[in-house]
Amino acid sequence: MGSFRHPALLGTLGASLLPLYIGLVLTKPNRIHALGGIGLCLGVVFLSNSGGPLSGAAVGVVGWLFWIARTKMFVVRRILVGAFVLLALVMKAPIWYLPARVSLLSGGGGWHRSYLLDMAFQNLSLWWFAGMDMGQTKNWFVYALEATGAADITNNYLAFGFKAGLLAIVLFIVLLIRAFRALGQGLAVVRHTVPTPMENECLLWGLGCALLVHIVTWFGITYFDQIYVVWFMHLAAIACISQACGEGNGKPQGMVWERQVHKRELRGVVKQ
């Protein structure tokens, strides 16, 4: 556990930093140090002995595998949505029992996470408006936490909902969408204005993969100690670096600028 309050949170530290070191491997000046960082991150994940960080690290690596399709991510997003819809149609259990299936490979309490989602949906009327008293969850499982007398809420999204209602979850998801959009806009600007955009692209892509690690990890645990510092650091880096990519090149950010370029090109063709 080190200085963390739970082994899974220690493992999340390594899993969330892993994508950034993978990005540094692709840049020649930092390759040796980056390989050392990757080794340390994997060591932290292994020593935490937890399925959640292992899944998070795997997600970070898979995110980097999509690097080869980085200019076609709109196609990848549609394929992923289609895959989830197909899974929902063919699975006998609801789609939120997918973590239970994944835990058969990675280990951990996947069934607990899935059943927690099931119980939350069944009791939606208790918390959707403004949250609920956590003591009302003590009968959701055959056991309850001694410290709180309530169910073990191992889902960060539900934790927001139980504290402040369904709107809190919606706002949280909007924040994540805006973070991904900022990264996409930063990547679009870098690719069109920087002569050799490799290093900047790797940094932005690594931050996107780190964000993805957090998103997946939140389905299995809530953040309740200094791991918040790492999450806030990543969020701040996404906001600042994405903005700097636009301002530093003196161009409007992202897809707005791309549409303006396409319109100017089209006007030129029409004139000709």
Which parts of the chain register pLDDT below 70?
104-108, 194-196, 246-272
Structure tokens at 15: 């899993």
Instruction: For residue 249, tell me if it sits in a domain.
Output: yes
HEC string of 188-201? HHHHHHCCCCHHHH
**pLDDT recorded at residue 246:** 67
Assigned domain for 98 exists? yes
pLDDT at 2: 82
Output the pLDDT for position 70.
Answer: 87
> Does any domain span residue 54?
yes
Alpha-carbon distance of 12 to 154, in angstroms, equals: 14
The structure's pTM equals 0.85
In whole angstroms, give the CA distance from residue 159 to residue 144. Answer: 16
Do the beta carbons of residue 205 and residue 67 sit within 8 Å? Answer: yes
Condensed to tens digits (0 to 9), the pLDDT of residues 35-68 reads 999 999 999 999 998 888 999 999 999 999 999 9
Say how far apart CA 176 and CA 149 lie, in whole Å: 31
Tell me which residue range forms the domain holding 149: 7-271
HSE-up of residue 254 (Cα within 13 Å, Cβ side): 13
Q: How many structural domains compose the chain?
A: 1
